[in-house]
Amino acid sequence: RGLWKEARLPRVDPYGFERPKDFDYVSYEEFFSRYLVILTRRAIKWSKLLKGNNRIQKSLKVKRYIRKGIPNEHRALIWMIVSGAQANMEQNPGYYNKLLEGEKSDTLVEAIKTDMNRTFPDNVQFRKTANPCLQQTLYNVLVAYGHHNKTVGYCQGMNFIAGYLILITKNEEESFWLLDALIGRILPDYYSPAMMGLKTDQEVLGELVRKKVPAVADLMDRHGVMWTLIVSRWFICLFIDILPVETVLRIWDCIFYEGSKIIFRVALALIKQHQAFILEATNLPDICDKFKQITRGTFVTECHTFMQKIFTEPGSLSMATVNKLRETCRAKLVAQGSTNNI
């Protein structure tokens, strides 16, 4: 069954990830042939937009283009420009290398080393036997970043994010500056030791779900499920290893341009789309399982439709709303923290 199709779609995807054993080649091939048409159309539009001078400025048109997906050949460049990473890199020549040559903290290096073999063991480019082996590149980026941003240092999850950046840019220094754009500017403080940004955003999502999908919020309350259990990994890993690679990259396109509220859009779209399915859950393990299942299947694989859905399904979500919620949720957490002595 579908043998000829398996022959056409390689066992390893274009980024080096081995497709899982139960990968549905037939339906993926069917999706991809449709997506290829879109990709081609977008590629033509983008090359017209860039007109060979590789320069863009933020505009409604660019925002629309980005929501429809950045072609892979331009992805690294556009991420670099819209995130401000390019400007930072140009303003600080030699800075990255200086970090690498500087003195290293033993505990930081140790923590990073522990995760080297545990970052994408399913990606052929990260294998010890690969040539070039991206483990060394990953190590360099993380060690440099840990010394650049000493408050954050190294937090698990950053290994996956840096790994993706390396796969897309194929450039160590650019990966470093993009990581800095994400952690230092675009995302709230998810990765610092107190993880306040993460704890806050988990609460913010809870509030948004209560407003937009109240039945699911009730279900969570009834079974005493804290959102951290479901979404800490979604947020920390920016959906890596949760959603399919292509979908994650499309989400990141928008995060680099529009910021961290996109994360809520993705989470809300997933939850709203599968509301009835989630509500079938009758106990905590069931709820956990349902939330795992909604991150798989055609809804998330068909990345182009999925990206349209994240902007329609959850309804309006302004940065002002998100910021206001963040403020109140953070204040609540701080108040709790001072009484609980956390």
Partner 1 sequence: MLVGDSGVGKTCLLVRFKDGAFLAGSFISTVGIDFRVSIWHCLMVSCLCPFQIWDTAGQERFRSVTHAYYRDAHALLLLYDVTNRASFDNIQAWLTEIHEYAQQDVVLMLLGNKVDSTQDRVVKREDGEKLAKEYGVPFMETSAKSGLNVDLAFTAIAKELKHRSMKLPNEPKFKLHDYVKKEVRGSGCCRS
Q: Which residues bind partner 1 (CB under 8 A)?
A: 110-111, 114-115, 117-122, 155-157, 159-160, 191-195, 198-199, 226, 228-230, 232-233, 236-237, 241, 284-285, 288-289, 291-292, 342
Q: How far apart are CA 82 and CA 57, in angstroms?
A: 8
DSSP H helices, 213-244, are 214-222, 227-236
The nearer residue to partner 1, 49 or 225, going by C-beta atoms, is 225
- Among residues 229 and 317, whose Cβ is nearest to partner 1? 229
**Min CB(286)–partner 1 separation in Å:** 10
Decide whether 46 or 164 has the Cβ nearer to partner 1. 164
What is the smallest separation between the CB atom of 88 and partner 1, expressed in angstroms?
Answer: 26
Phi first, then psi, for residue 118 (nearest 5°) are -110, 15
9 within 8 A of 29, measured Cβ to Cβ: yes
- Decide whether 39 or 196 has the Cβ nearer to partner 1: 196
Distance CA 41, CA 28 (A): 20
* Residue in 191, 215, 212, 193 with CA at minimum distance from that of residue 201: 191
Q: How far is the CB of 335 from partner 1 (least distance, A)?
A: 16
> Minimum distance from CB of 287 to partner 1 (Å)?
9
Shortest Å distance, C-beta 36 to partner 1: 30
Cα torsion angle, 189, 193, 196, 199, sign: positive
- Measured from the CB atom, is 56 or 237 closer to partner 1? 237
Task: Name the residue nearer to partner 1 (CB basis): 101 or 241.
Answer: 241
CB of 300 to partner 1, least distance (A): 18
CA angle 132, 71, 322 (to 5 degrees): 105
Q: What is the DSSP letter of 18?
A: B
Is the omega angle on the peptide bond into residue 285 within 30 degrees of 0, that is, cis? no
**CA–CA gap between residue 157 and residue 238 (Å, rounded):** 9
